[in-house]
Amino acid sequence: MATKPTIDLTSVLANAVRGLRLSERVGALPNVASKRTRALKGRVKGAKAVVSLCPYCAVGCSTLAYVSDEGKLLDVEGNPDSPVSGGHLCPKGSAIFGMTVNEARWTTAKYRAPFATEWEEKPLDWVLDRIAERFKKTREETFVRNLPNGKRVNHTLGIASLGGATFGIEENYLLQKLMKTCGVVSVENQARI
C-alpha cells in the first residue's frame, strides 16, 4: 500500500516567517495587511502627551492629553503611570475627548425669562452678569447679622452653593473662599454626594 505524502507544517510556517520582523507577522503567520493599512499612522503618533487629570470625580484618575504641534487636542487617554487607576478610565473619564471636541457642544447659554414660553440664546458673559446681580440682591435681602438672642452670625441662608465635580482643587478653594466671605454657610460639592 502506497504511503500518503506528509506535510511538515512546522517547517512550512518556519520558512514563511523566516526573516520577517515581529511587526510583519501575526503570530506565526506572515501579516497580510494591505499597503494602505501599512501606510496608516496612529491618530496620536508624534503628538505631545500632556499629563492631566480627569475632572469628574474625587478618584482623580490621571490622563494623557495628546496635543498636535498646532495645539489641537487629538485624544485623551488614561495615564499608565497613574497610581490610582494604572491607565484605566471609567465611562465618564473615557468620554472626556468626545465631550470636549464635539460639534454639538453648546457654547451659549439657554435662558427662559420669567413667564416666557421660549428659550433664548444668551452669551456666557451676559449670564455671568445676571448670576452676579441675583447673588448680590439675594444676599442683601437675606443677610443676618445677629440672631434674635443677640448672637452675631453674619450669614445668609438664602443662598446655597453646589460645586461641580469638574472643579479642580484651586477652583474649589476659591469657591469656598468666596462663599464664606459672603456669609454663605450651605456649601457642598457634587463629588461628595
Q: Site residues (CB under 6 A) for ligand SF4?
A: 54, 56-57, 59-61, 85, 89-90, 92-93
CB of residue 95 to ligand SF4, shortest distance in Å: 9
CB of residue 191 to ligand SF4, shortest distance in Å: 9
> d(Cα 34, Cα 171) in Å, to the nearest integer?
50
Please name which of 63, 38, 59, 70 lies closest in space to residue 49, comparing C-alpha atoms: 63
Specify whether the CB–CB gap between 17 and 28 falls below 8 A.
yes
CB of residue 178 to ligand SF4, shortest distance in Å: 25
Q: Which residue number places its CB atom closest to ligand SF4? A: 93
Please give the helix or strand (H or E) that residue 102 lies within, else none.
none
Residue with cell 484618575: 61
CB of residue 157 to ligand SF4, shortest distance in Å: 32
What lies within 8 Å, CB to CB, of 154 at 6+ separation is 143, 144, 145, 183
Residue 127's CB is within 10 A of a number of other CB atoms, namely: 14
CB of residue 53 to ligand SF4, shortest distance in Å: 8
Cα dist. 6→1, 3, 13, 27 in Å?
A: 15, 9, 15, 24
> d(Cα 144, Cα 48) in Å, to the nearest integer?
53
